[in-house]
Structure 1
Amino acid sequence: MNPIQEYFYRIEEPERSTLLFLRKKILESDPEHISETLSFGLPFFKYKKKMLCYFYYSKKYKKHYVSFYHGDRLNYPELILEGRKKFKILLLDMEEDLPVQFILSLIAEVKQHIRV
């Protein structure tokens, strides 16, 4: 098992399946330009080798989240800044439907801010 797979398999169900599904959707949204790497022990998604977003778990909120680079340029009430300078997070509620289209639209917007 590679390190990225190990990260996901340390997560309990049903969160694991939800995050793996979201991971698949993100990678499929632009297979030529979006890649995945493990940075700081977390699965990072990169667009043309530049930071795009990553998954993590908030101990404060007790929820997994997606953190978006250039989040400081995204203006949506669903996103939380919490003292970060460049990243905003979107908390994932595992009890509700995953907002896949919203997440993919945020990724598309972040891609516009990345200089390659």
Structure 2
Amino acid sequence: MKQLDDFYLKQEEPIKGLFLALKEIILKQDEDITNVLKYGMPFFCYKGKMFCYLWTHKKYKQPYIGIVEGKHFDEDFLLQENRSRMKIMLFDINEDLPLEQIEDIIQKAIKLYKSGIIQV
């Protein structure tokens, strides 16, 4: 857990605060969600299966939530770019977090895993 905590703590503001807020938002969506460090980044797992992660876009320098099974979603605020499976939701650090959109997409991801389409 120390490495995971260190990831958040070593981020510079305002990204540090944004990632910590996103962590809390994601974790409160379901009791079966856990936060782990994989590939040097914070991943969120649903019943042990990776379903989203936090990172900063190299080109845009913006923080984002990566949705592992994003290919199943058609929301216009999700970007696929050159990814075959994942989509990302970028955040502007100068604006408030779109809480409803975040909660909606996390709930959709959880429902996808609960549906059995994604093996948990």
**What range is the shorter-chain TM-score in?**
over 0.9
SS in 2 for 1:66: strand
What amino acid is the match of 2:101?
A: F
Contact kept? 2:29, 2:107, Cα under 8 Å: no
Distance in 2, matches of 1:4 and 1:92, equals 21
Deviation for aligned residue 1:80: 0.6
Contact kept? 1:27, 1:34, Cα under 8 Å: yes
Residues 30-73 of structure 1: CA deviation (Å, up to 9, x unaligned):
1x200011000000000111111000111111111100011001
Gaps of 5+ in 2: 114-118
RMSD: 1.2
The equivalent of 1:14 in structure 2 is 14
Gaps of 5+ in 1: none
What amino acid is the match of 1:39?
A: K
> Which stretches of structure 1, 4 residues or longer, exceed 4 Å deviation after superposition?
none
Taking structure 1 as the reference length, the TM-score comes to 0.93
The equivalent of 2:109 in structure 1 is 110
The equivalent of 1:72 in structure 2 is 71
Identical positions, percent:
37
Taking structure 2 as the reference length, the TM-score comes to 0.90
SS in 2 for 1:97: coil
Deviation for aligned residue 1:5: 1.1
Deviation for aligned residue 1:112: 2.0
Distance in 2, matches of 1:106 and 1:6, equals 27
